[in-house]
Amino acid sequence: MQNIYVTGNDPLMRTPSYSNPSDLDLEIIRLQQAQQQLEQKRQQLQQVQIQPQQSQSPVWDEIDRITSELSESEFSMLNENQEFQKSQNLVMNILQQEYMKIMRPIVERSPEGKKALENHLSILKKWKKTISEDANKSLMLFQEYTEKYSNMTYAEFLKMKKEQKG
């Protein structure tokens, strides 16, 4: 085993030198103040965790209370109601929009999120081009059918086109 000797001004390897005893006293006072601040922050965090959280959304609480009281069959019947479905969809869309506002910047700032988004964008661009081409081909095919072959069914027209290619 080799002995390694470190020389130089490595702050981790040297001990602080206080030429004046009052400098050491000031450093001790500074460290005690920092320790007190950390203790105060720790106590604040504990108080936040201990205190029961007051609901900030009484309407949500009421919705949760009512739906939790429903049996499975009652909830199933409620979900079949068109008025409820429409209202539920509206609320869910708003939630999704708000969630996206909060999460988009967070995801974009993370390395994994940025990489996933860039990959998603490249796939989207590739497929958009392919889908656009396919949609144009389908539209042109349908236009040809309506202009020249409207006397036959569309299924017969497509079969005829397949046979022409084959």
pLDDT at 25: 79
The domain ranges of the chain are: 60-109, 112-166
Using alpha carbons only, what angle is made at residue 147 by residues 143 and 149, rounded to the nearest 5 degrees?
Answer: 100
Q: Which of 76, 72, 73, 95 is nearest to 85 (CA)?
A: 76
Asked if residues 57 and 51 have their Cβ atoms less than 8 Å apart, the reply is no
Grouped pLDDT means (10 residues each) for the chain, 166 residues: 58 62 80 89 78 76 92 92 95 94 92 94 90 89 90 90 85
